[in-house]
Amino acid sequence: MSLTISELEKLRTILLHMSQNVKAIANLTRNMMKTEDLEVRKSLWKEIEELSLILDKIRREFVTEVLVFIARRQPLGRELLTAHALISIAYDVYRISRYCREIARIDSLLAPSSSIATVKSISNAFEEAMKALEAALNDLVEFAPKRVNIVSDVDENIDKEYQEVLKEITTSDVVSREKAVKALLMRHIERIVDHAQYIEQHLSEVV
């Protein structure tokens, strides 16, 4: 990577802050999938929403820093590719938070009569996705794509589970609300894992 040490450290610091926030959002989402208590869930919805907005602000600041670098240095070739890769990583981290936010929104729409905690196997699927997310975020903190295989394995498993859910729906004459909700949740979980994989791909372009 051809950015100067000071430039790199500044960008890494912002990415680290983003990583911490998206991990917090994911953990709140995980907790939401394990409780039917409405008051607890309301608190989790609020925290997820607030952290998602904070993460969007950090992402904008990060993109500004990278654009300042581009304007000042007018990079070509490898440097320009690196700058774009860093912006892409910030976007992927942000998108993960947005999918968690959408999961929280679904849970709020089910309230007060139901919750995503009652959707069969969805908590297990999210736990699997967390393995990929934590691996990608750890690699982001270390700035090295060391855990690509973990993310790829989880991606394959989640893709299979999502396809099974879709197949179950498309082969049914009548689709229950739970099945429809599960399909939507699995789509968001699948996208979270996709973005974890994108982070790994972009890291390989940067280092």
> How high is the pLDDT of residue 45?
98
| Lowest mean pLDDT, pick from 74-83, 97-106, 173-182, 195-204 | 74-83
The pTM assigned to this predicted structure is 0.93
Between the alpha carbon of residue 180 and those of residues 53, 75, 79, 112, 174, the distances in Å are: 28, 48, 45, 18, 10
Selection from 23, 198, 15 nearest residue 90 by Cα? 15
CA distance 92 to 50: 18
Number of domains observed in the structure of the chain:
1
Distance of CA 161 to the CA centre of its chain: 18
Is residue 4 pLDDT above 70, yes or no?
A: no
CATH code at 103?
1.20.58.220
> How high is the pLDDT of residue 184?
97
User: Who has greater pLDDT, 4 or 200?
Assistant: 200
What confidence tens digit (pLDDT) does each residue in 85-133 have? 889 999 999 999 999 999 999 999 999 999 999 999 999 999 999 999 9
Is residue 16 pLDDT above 80, yes or no?
A: yes
User: Which residues lie below 8 Å from residue 203, measured CB to CB, with a gap of 6+?
Assistant: 85, 89, 139, 140, 143, 144, 145
Confidence of residue 3 (pLDDT cuts 50, 70, 90): low
CA distance 89 to 33: 27
Between the alpha carbon of residue 106 and those of residues 37, 80, 164, the distances in Å are: 15, 39, 21
Between the alpha carbon of residue 88 and those of residues 92, 163, 180, the distances in Å are: 6, 27, 31
Confidence of residue 1 (pLDDT cuts 50, 70, 90): very low
Distance of CA 13 to the CA centre of its chain: 19
> How high is the pLDDT of residue 71?
84
Task: State the residue range of the domain holding 157.
Answer: 5-206
> Packing angle between helix 38-73 and helix 78-110, nearest 10 degrees?
160
Residue that has been written with the tokens 């100067």 in this structure: 4
> How high is the pLDDT of residue 12?
82
